[in-house]
Amino acid sequence: MSNRVFKGACLAGVMALCVPAAHAQDSQPTPDSAVAQSAPAPVADPQGTSWQPLAEEGITLSLSYTGEAASNLTGGLRRDAAYAGQVYVGADFDMERIAGIAGGTLHAAITNRHGESLSALALGNNTSVQEIYGTQNTHLAILTWEQKLLDDRLMIEAGRSQANIHFLNAPIYCNFQSNAACGNPTFVFKNSNFTYFPASSWMIRAKGQLTDQVTLHVGAYEVNPDRKRASDHGFNFSTKAATGVIVPWELTYARDGQGTRLPGHYTLGGWFDRGDYADPLRDEAGGIALLSGLAAAQHNGRSGLFFRFDQRLTRPDPTSERGLSVFGVAMTNLSGRVEESRFLDFGIVQTGTFAGRDADTLGLMVSDQRFSDLAMTRFRAARDYAGSDAAVHRHQYMMELAYGAQINPAIRLSPNLQYIVHPDSSGAPFRVAPVGDEVIVGFKFTVDALRLLR
């Protein structure tokens, strides 16, 4: 066995042994666990900075770790701290090189998520300040076949995966730790059955290049509550409990070709949710479910619409990534009984900060979540029941200031400061005392283990 192979095996083993096993529970995820980070991007390594011992055989490996810590300095239900992390192990198989199937690629990935959510422990709000939290176990996250056709102008992928790693995300979002931005704006998870990483289910999607700058992307993903249970590990391929499908779509105009100095992406998209969902207010008898203790009324069918963009504004040196970028998202529901009626998100990111720090980033993000009339009625009913005169706010504002320090090609450290104005108390609906504005200090780090071995 070569020294590098031995080191790789040891590193993978150590990482796996250091991860505590998650305790499986047959329960639905809490609100903040229903949103999760997108999968790491496939290894794109033209400069050869990643150790790829099987590259000549057509196999590209991925092995990474993401950790996120958070502690509330003020506000919330109580002062506390939490840590959540993820091990990601993946492989892409070039089937043209392996089996002579032109344009074919097999994708596979397994994750282990562990740790706790500060939002669940101490904040009581429904949007996590640690985006890596959710589906806390070892999970088969991806097993798909991707096929490129028509000179790569059409891509079709099918198998076991999630909507949120294919739709409504962009690399710029995960310069932040809050789930208000990374890996996807949370509105879509609260208002639909949009499937989230790493809870995999059956899916198919197709992306077509209509012109050099315009693409149409459409998918269909199984809606199955069993796939979201803490006891599910992704290896159960049954559709027995499925209640329908969700169909996301995106039409994108992109200026990002080779040699583009100021790249940008502009996307109009939405979803048609044809799966079952629980009413955010009423029980099966028409009362308020939170007060009656009866099961929530069940419905089928929701839809929503969004517009998103990211645009590079400055790039003094075309050979460098230094420059200023902005991004934004606006989302609304079109039909159905939903938790939120509108979502706005805006951020700005400077890449290249101090002298010699070309890969570092400094970012600021602000989001506005507007609760629906149904959610407001539920909040007020809970306050009245508890005998509380605390104000009920329709808008929750989340802000984050984050610095990303690229220590070397393998390690990135991202301290951040988050501020939540008018945090909802959906995690403690009968609390009598008001929940004050929250200041959270966070720390995110990522390690690309295969770049460490290069």
| Per-residue pLDDT of the chain in tens (454 residues, 90 and over written 9) | 444 433 444 444 434 333 333 333 333 333 333 344 456 655 455 456 889 999 999 999 999 999 999 999 999 999 999 999 999 999 999 999 999 999 999 999 999 999 999 999 999 998 999 999 999 999 999 999 999 999 999 999 999 999 999 999 999 999 999 999 998 998 999 999 999 999 999 999 999 999 999 999 999 999 999 998 988 999 999 999 999 999 999 999 999 988 899 999 999 999 999 999 999 999 999 999 999 999 999 999 999 999 999 999 999 998 889 999 999 999 999 999 999 999 999 999 999 999 999 999 999 999 999 999 999 999 999 999 999 988 899 999 999 999 999 999 999 999 999 999 999 888 899 999 888 999 999 999 999 999 998 8
For residues 112 and 137, the answer to whether their CB atoms sit within 8 Å is: yes
Is 436 contained in some domain? yes
Over the range 35-70, which residues count as b (16 or more CB within 10 Å of their CB) and which as e?
bbbbbbeebebeeeebbbeebeebbbbbbbbbbbbb
Q: Among all chains, which residue has been given the structure tokens 């990474």?
A: 64
Is 20 contained in some domain? no
Is 25 contained in some domain? no
Is 19 contained in some domain? no
Is 79 contained in some domain? yes
Is 12 contained in some domain? no
Q: What is the CATH number of the domain that holds 193?
A: 2.40.160.180
Cis peptide before 183 (omega within 30 of 0): yes
Could you tell me the residue range of the domain that residue 137 belongs to?
Answer: 37-452
Is 406 contained in some domain? yes
Total domains in the chain come to 1
Is 3 contained in some domain? no
